Amino acid sequence: MRDQWVLDRKTAFLNHGSFGATPRRVLDRQSALRQQLETEPVRFFLREGPALWRAALDRVADFLGAPTDELAFVRNASEGANAVLRSLPLEAGDEILVSDHGYPAVTRAAEYVADRAGASVRTVTLPFPPEAPEAVTASFLAAVTPRTRLVIVDHVTSPTGMVLPVASLVATLRERGVDTLVDGAHAPGMLDLDLGAVGAAYYVGNFHKWVCAPKGAGFLHVRADRQDGIAPPVVSHGWRRDLSPGERFRAAFDWTGTADPTAALCVPTALDTVAELGGGWTAIRERNRELTLEGRRLIAEALGVEPRIPESMIGTLASLPLPPGSGPGPAHGLDLDPLQARLQDVHDVVVPVFPWPRWPERRIRTSAHLHTERRDFERLAAALRAELA
Ligand SMILES: Cc1ncc(COP(=O)(O)O)c(C=O)c1O
């Protein structure tokens, strides 16, 4: 299976979560599309491309359980979240709620728009580890005030790898008149995602993580009743005053200036290729989840800790606490923890280490996809024993 990916053979690759990894066959399709584009760029951008784009959108609509007209391709979840946040008419005194498990880059975007408007971003501390998913919903609800304009919640949390109960949270918040932006960067391909059932006003996700599309394939879902005024971060030809809000949403996101569209155009191939390699998406999700849980047990044993997050809240990411770090700690969300660097440089094990909830407390996060095997976790367990002895 590993040979289906171009991943470096010598590494134990346990960080599918950060940037995904793309099978050879999908990369070949991307090369072919780029060749087609460069053979006659004008024909591609004005005639062939739009039909391929629409077909890819229809296919992802089917995969995600949402009408095509509520979906747009964006380069990544960050871009989708920025589109929503920068479009909201925030006023001074309004507030956005985020959680202490939220993805820092999305929280930064919320702070950016809040600062501009004189609004605020408040962080909800979730019970950790939660005894049951309902405790998460209760924490958000307790934090809502009459000034809450938006709740941002991760479907699968990045630093802790927990699957949160977003459908019930969205429904409860909706009863209180509060909109939700679900950050589902990790959800497509990891979870049996049904955007219609989630019902959020806004949902963003990535195909370059668990669907294994090339980098730069994300999506934004905006419920039909919330599309008015939602603009992409780059406004171009499609932002036409004469169109209805729905038509404008479609047109504005379908053209945001000249760029390489092949990552998005490869999503159907990624969906087919991975499904074929793993015997269908249901089987893939089950296999990867079982391996994630088995790997978590192995690593917990090596670290001498208990995996305390309930299994019912685990998908294909798992995180465990590490002994505290020493020194000044990473200054920035993209900085490497020294242990992460050593695991890679000395042991050829690729796995992320995050400061969480704040330095010097740290967590290690493993993941499993079809290219992952039990022996990758065994190599990590041995490396951790050596490093932390
Ligand atoms: C929860 C979450 N949100 C957003 C992102 C950002 O994804 P991207 O960099 O593709 O925009 C990530 C990336 O790991 C994530 O884990």
Q: Among 16, 75, 158, say which to mutate for ligand 1: greatest number of ligand atoms within 8 Å of CB.
A: 158
The CA-atom distances, in angstroms, between 17 and each of 112, 181, 202, 235, 243 are 26, 21, 22, 31, 39
Q: Which pLDDT belongs to residue 256?
A: 97
Residue 133 has what pLDDT?
Answer: 87
Q: Is 99 in the pocket of ligand 1 (CB under 6 A)?
A: no
Q: In angstroms, rounded to a whole number, what is the distance separating the alpha carbons of residues 208 and 19?
A: 7
pLDDT beneath 50, residues of the chain: none
Nearest CA to ligand 1 atom 7: 77
Of 271, 302, 321, the residue at which a domain comes to its end is 271
Q: Identify whether residues 284 and 305 lie together within a single domain.
A: yes
State which ligand 1 atom lies nearest to the alpha carbon of 184: 1
Spacing, Cα 386 to ligand 1 middle (Å): 31
206 within ligand 1 shell (Cβ under 6 A): yes
Residue 244: CB partners within 8 Å, gap ≥ 6?
Answer: none
The reply to whether 261 and 302 lie within a common domain is no
For ligand 1, pick from 15, 206, 354 the residue to mutate: most ligand atoms within 8 Å of CB.
206
Whether the CB of 204 sits within 6 Å of ligand 1: no
Cα–Cα distance for residue pair 29/263, rounded to 1 Å: 10
Contact 163, 315 (CB under 8 A): yes
Indicate the residue among 231, 255, 271 that finishes a domain. 271
With beta carbons less than 8 A apart as the criterion, state whether 383 and 347 touch.
Answer: yes
CA angle 135, 136, 138 (to 5 degrees): 65
Token duo for residue 118: 């004189």
Q: Are residues 118 and 61 in the same domain?
A: yes
Ligand 1 centroid–CA 49 distance in Å is: 27
Could you tell me the CA-to-CA distances from 6 to 1, 9, 167 in Å, in that order?
Answer: 11, 8, 36
For the segment 282-316, what is each residue's pLDDT rounded down to a tens digit? 999 999 999 999 999 999 999 999 999 999 999 99
Q: What is the reported pLDDT for 337? A: 93
Could you report the per-residue pLDDT of 312-335, keeping only the tens digit for each? Answer: 999 999 999 999 999 888 877 788
Give CA 8 to chain center in angstroms: 24
- Per the CB < 8 A criterion, the answer to whether 113 and 137 are in contact is no
The answer to whether residues 265 and 323 belong to one domain is no
Q: In what order do the strands lie in the sheet with 95-99?
A: 71-74, 218-222, 202-206, 179-184, 148-154, 95-99, 120-124
Separation of alpha carbons 167 and 240, rounded Å: 33
Are 65 and 177 contained in the same domain?
A: yes
Pocket test for ligand 1, best of 183, 215, 267, 367 (most atoms within 8 A of CB): 183
Q: Which pairing describes strands 148-154 and 95-99: parallel, antiparallel, or unpaired? A: parallel
Using CA atoms, how far apart are residues 291 and 187, in angstroms rounded to an integer? Answer: 17
183 lines ligand 1 (CB under 6 A): yes
Asked if 168 and 147 touch (Cβ cutoff 8 Å), the reply is: no
* Cross-strand partners of 23: 5
CB-CB contact of 166 with 198 (8 Å): yes
314 lines ligand 1 (CB under 6 A): no
Of residues 103, 69, 101, 68, the one with CA closest to residue 85: 103
DSSP 164-185: P-HHHHHHHHHHTT-EEEEEET
Could you give the number of structural domains in the chain? 2
Choose the residue to mutate in 76, 160, 210, 317 for probing ligand 1, maximizing ligand atoms within 8 Å of C-beta. 76
My answer on whether 224 and 366 are in the same domain is no
- Residue 326 near residue 360 (C-beta atoms within 8 A): yes
Please tell me if the CB atom of residue 367 comes closer than 6 angstroms to any atom of ligand 1: no
CA-to-CA separations, 293 to 15, 110, 305, in angstroms, rounded: 15, 33, 14
User: Cα of 161 to ligand 1 centre, how many Å?
Assistant: 12
- Note whether 253 and 144 are same-domain residues: yes
Do 255 and 297 reside in the same domain of the chain?
Answer: no
Ligand 1 in contact with 154 (CB < 6 A)? yes
**Ligand 1 center from residue 189 Cα (angstroms):** 14
Q: Is the CB of 256 under 6 A from ligand 1?
A: no
225-270 pLDDT, tens digit per residue, is 999 999 999 999 999 999 999 999 999 999 999 999 999 999 999 9
Is residue 152 within 6 Å of ligand 1 at its C-beta? no
Question: Residue 306 is part of a domain; what is its CATH number?
Answer: 3.90.1150.10
Q: Which residues contact 378 (CB under 8 A, 6 or more apart)?
A: 298
Position 87 scores a pLDDT of: 98
Question: Quick check: helix, strand or coil at residue 385?
Answer: helix
Listed residue (336, 330, 312, 365) closest to 160, CA to CA: 365
pLDDT at 69: 97
Read off the CATH number of the domain in which 258 is found: 3.40.640.10
**Residue with CA closest to ligand 1 atom 13:** 18
The first and second tokens of residue 186, run together, are 């990790």
pLDDT at 59: 98
Give the chain's length.
Answer: 389
Question: Of the candidates 164, 155, 131, 26, which has an alpha carbon nearest to the alpha carbon of residue 81?
Answer: 155
Q: Tell me: do 329 and 253 sit in the same domain.
A: no
Which atom of ligand 1 is least distant from the CA of 102? 1
Q: Name the closest-CA residue to atom 16, ligand 1.
A: 158
- Residue pair 150/182 in contact by the 8 Å Cβ criterion: no
Q: 166 and 155 in contact (C-beta within 8 Å)?
A: yes
**Among 271, 288, 314, which residue terminates a domain?**
271
Within this chain, do residues 292 and 258 fall inside the same structural domain, yes or no?
Answer: no
- Say what the alpha-carbon torsion angle 9, 11, 12, 13 is, to the nearest 10 degrees: -90
108 and 235 both lie in a single domain:
yes
213 and 354 in a single domain? The answer is no
Q: Which of 298, 336, 379, 384 is nearest to 14 (CA)?
A: 379
Looking at residue 333, its pLDDT comes to 75
Domain that holds residue 71: 25-271
Cα(252)–Cα(108) distance, integer angstroms: 25
Contact 154/99 with Cβ under 8 angstroms? Answer: yes
* Calpha distance 81→102 (Å, rounded): 12
Q: What is the mean pLDDT of the chain?
A: 97
